[in-house]
Structure 1
């Protein structure tokens, strides 16, 4: 774990505890801004938090009111009293609300750091509203030790009062988090298994026989995006076939690729990639049928009037889904609807649900996903888990068969507790969650390995998550270059080694001997296995599967 020497994990680096005596180190930002301290009504004080600084932490109910703000940049600030260490991930936690001037609307409030009086580092953002406290869940990391740093709380329009409760900055303790996750993983992903060989004959005949159990496949898939270029690279193909179970096309299935010019359909690239995946037995996610963000829509589509666009949408659905019916187990139907609304703006509120309904009609076997970014990061007011759930509920009420939730996972400075909080909230929908486009960006490859482990352990330990797809893995052949797992020459870097090590850790093997009752017991990860029994007459092999379950799995080994 990177650079944790001399880091204290349970200390807040800004002064809030002395609010009873005044404003502690807080100062107003803006010539008209005034600060005052207040007590929240007990019934309005938040009762739940992901803040793990101190075992008995609960929101205090004491808050600072920033009023008289004449500009969005106005608010409050405080110098950080403790030394910030480079290469350490810090959490920004606390509670934000709005006061007078909000008029029932919600507004983005941001917490930033000003380092050495010039560099601004993003520390987190929330979509705040009056009468409700919203927990801020930010994170940051510095590349070098600063001479000085201060925390700034800003945002919301001029004239809107901002309330701040219990703001904290503290270092994350990843080792402690990983210890908890290993226990959680054991419960979520493993099961006790009893292999009964007694039915094969008298137990005494095989008692003491040597047995070896080897896991062949995991029921939790990892995959990656591919394109027509990378499948020509032997090093890419070698790593892909050895370490990934699924694939997704980077661009080749998108509408702007298959129909760049109106009426000129080109599925050749998608067909070639499907043939490649078929050769290696890799299922493929369908990404994506439509893309809601306007700047991703090809110009000829933008030029259509209402009726022409309606016809073009139907044509896209008919063409794609009849051609590939049954080939893609998943579809991302209309990508990034939290961040774009091109089709909805042009065709009305029902169009997104219509896309889902028509996809179900044309390819009823496919699981249909919503897919968006920043939901798991806690730093995008436009993409909170609550807004994602609201969107899913709205689609379902209009008859859309939403079958899965896609979290893209383009992450920087990930924090496990923040990711877990988003997963917990999304799990209330009872829909499976996939990380659909994972890349963890960090130029320092040692830190990248640590960051990647944070994300993968959180995903694997959470019962709602059913798969992880990387958005590429090879240097020079992926969207975010500081996220690669293998270098351009094919050598595996530290991040790639960490991924391989985790996959190895999450694979079960067992050795031993049959007991006097003809039994062999072990605890294994969910997946498919082969058992090898060695007796005086030779070796016998048999396959079996370990599925999810809360009770021990008893399997009759009829050899």
Structure 2
């Protein structure tokens, strides 16, 4: 995990490089109603406030879509940061909470309109007090005539306060690459200090010192289709995984719906067999997932449970699954996509049930690292702020949360925006928790475009210090949830695509270390800047490898010194 110093450096660099083009909202501190539009909602000024001395109170709303708003100047394709603080004044009986959102309404110069949900916050309550809605977003890449931002979401019967609203331009340029490269140099690499002494009359021009990295310590992994992996005919699939990755995650077979599709009928054999084979071949494995909170992911027999029967079923499943995998997995995604759905909380009418699976998992195995895992966080940013709030709740409850998993499934033919990726990761970094890119894939029909997209995203991920690991969600066209246009390799022989070549060039060439120095030119003391991982140092004289002088070591966050005495 990146050190606190590295993270501090990054946050300082963000303040320097993310430049505001000025405030685009008028009267954002809500000291009056000037410039605010209140259509089908009653607005008034109140003394309850988050900043300044007043805030806007919204009441008598006609629907969940009505709320105060304001027009702002938006430019085609520009990046913006929006923030607003909202406080609910009442709850609705029988509902766990209320959704909050910021909705942008664009009118284009050709007369067409487009609505874009910029911020989603799924479950707000009166007891939360002031809630920050925040997101980095990109205006549509069309000529814009007018833009309007509205605060909306709660039931019409819910009144709320609004304060401290802001929309600012975000600096958007080519500087991201230099910033990412600096982080890669400072955080992903350390110095290897070589000290060489010689005996006898050696010709130093014939002495070569090679610093060769054999393994990368940074986690780079892939999702694994257990059925393909277990198929003896799929040796090329297995070999590609073993040769190019050091981490893996089961695609489906670790999920409750697959382990126990019918009550009491368990299917542990295949996932455990594949897990054992992956570990035997040197890969570390993530567990995905203990429960999944969206309605479509809950199996029918569980949907018929309620109350203590449901609570007991969840506890039994987590306990039994962790008993089967204890000591074999590095991570568990505990409550998958809990921002997208809250099936268990709603069924039990218990908002705080989001804490229970973590408590059960941590009790059963305090050594495995426990994660949240969700989307619309980094590749798209509607829920980045809500994810931060959820993480802070779990941290405060001390339930064993280790890190944040971010799914990064970019839209079809969507070029990843490295500036938005960086800004959203900055927001997550404020939690103090490490981030794993758990489900990364790119879709583009053109292989070369796909290669460019893959490289941009990978550099943005690897070039941010809060990111501890990256896992692909598929690489082979015959085993990819998003089809052949997302593949790195294709066909029965797993032939490399342009995107596959680009991916491997980054991870196995550009971001690996292999340097050879000639002693007559380098001097007896020199430094190699190396990527973290396992190394060998070889000494050659007159082209012959001096095997007795070979040394091995692991390079981590601190520098390493190698002393060599060359004699023949």
Map residues 239-278 of structure 1 onto 2, 5 A cutoff.
239-278=240-279
Structure 2 distance, partners of 1:386, 1:451, is 30
Structure 2 distance, partners of 1:506, 1:261, is 46
Does residue 1:177 correspond to 2:176, yes or no?
Answer: yes
Does residue 1:155 correspond to 2:161, yes or no?
Answer: no
- Give the direction of change, closer, same or farther, for the CA distance of 1:393–1:120 in structure 2 (3 Å limit): same
Q: Deviations over 1:258-285 (max 9, x none)?
A: 1111111112321342254245332211
Deviation for aligned residue 1:485: 3.3
Q: Deviations over 1:233-279 (max 9, x none)?
A: 56644543343221100110111101111111112321342254245
Map residues 44-123 of structure 1 onto 2, 5 A cutoff.
44=51, 72=65, 84=76, 90-97=78-85, 107-115=100-108, 116-118=110-112, 120=114, 122=116
RMSD: 4.5
Tell me the SS of whatever aligns to 1:172. coil
Q: Is the 8 A contact 1:473 1:483 kept in 2?
A: no
Structure 2 distance, partners of 1:510, 1:483, is 36
Map residues 126-275 of structure 1 onto 2, 5 A cutoff.
127=121, 134-139=133-138, 142=141, 150-153=147-150, 155-156=152-153, 167-168=167-168, 172-173=172-173, 175-198=174-197, 202=199, 205=202, 207-208=204-205, 209-231=207-229, 232=231, 233=234, 236-237=237-238, 239-275=240-276
Matched residue, 2:553: 545
Structure 1 distance, partners of 2:172, 2:327, is 45
Matched residue, 1:57: none
Q: How many residues align?
A: 513
- Give the direction of change, closer, same or farther, for the CA distance of 1:277–1:132 in structure 2 (3 Å limit): closer
Structure 2 distance, partners of 1:33, 1:442, is 47
Structure 2 distance, partners of 1:362, 1:69, is 48
TM-score, normalising length: structure 1? 0.75
Deviation for aligned residue 1:379: 1.1
Structure 1: state its 5+ residue gaps. 1-8, 20-25, 46-60
Matched residue, 2:348: 346
Tell me the SS of whatever aligns to 1:409. strand
TM-score, normalising length: structure 2? 0.74
Structure 2 distance, partners of 1:79, 1:360, is 47
Map residues 365-404 of structure 1 onto 2, 5 A cutoff.
365-376=367-378, 377-380=380-383, 383-394=386-397, 396=398, 400-404=399-403
Map residues 386-465 of structure 1 onto 2, 5 A cutoff.
386-394=389-397, 396=398, 400-412=399-411, 414-441=416-443, 448-465=450-467
Worse-superposed segment, 207-216 or 272-281: 272-281
Deviation for aligned residue 1:188: 0.8
Matched residue, 2:15: none
Structure 2 distance, partners of 1:161, 1:117, is 33
Q: Is the 8 A contact 1:437 1:471 kept in 2?
A: yes
Structure 2 distance, partners of 1:210, 1:384, is 52
Q: Is the 8 A contact 2:199 2:565 kept in 1?
A: no
Does residue 1:475 correspond to 2:477, yes or no?
Answer: yes
Deviation for aligned residue 1:102: 6.2
Structure 1 distance, partners of 2:132, 2:311, is 42
Tell me the SS of whatever aligns to 2:226. coil
Q: Is the 8 A contact 2:209 2:516 kept in 1?
A: yes
For residue 509 of structure 1, the aligned residue among 510, 514, 526 is 514
Map residues 282-321 of structure 1 onto 2, 5 A cutoff.
282-321=283-322
Deviation for aligned residue 1:220: 0.6
Structure 2 distance, partners of 1:160, 1:349, is 20
Q: Is the 8 A contact 1:287 1:331 kept in 2?
A: yes
Deviation for aligned residue 1:309: 3.2
Q: Is the 8 A contact 2:192 2:561 kept in 1?
A: yes
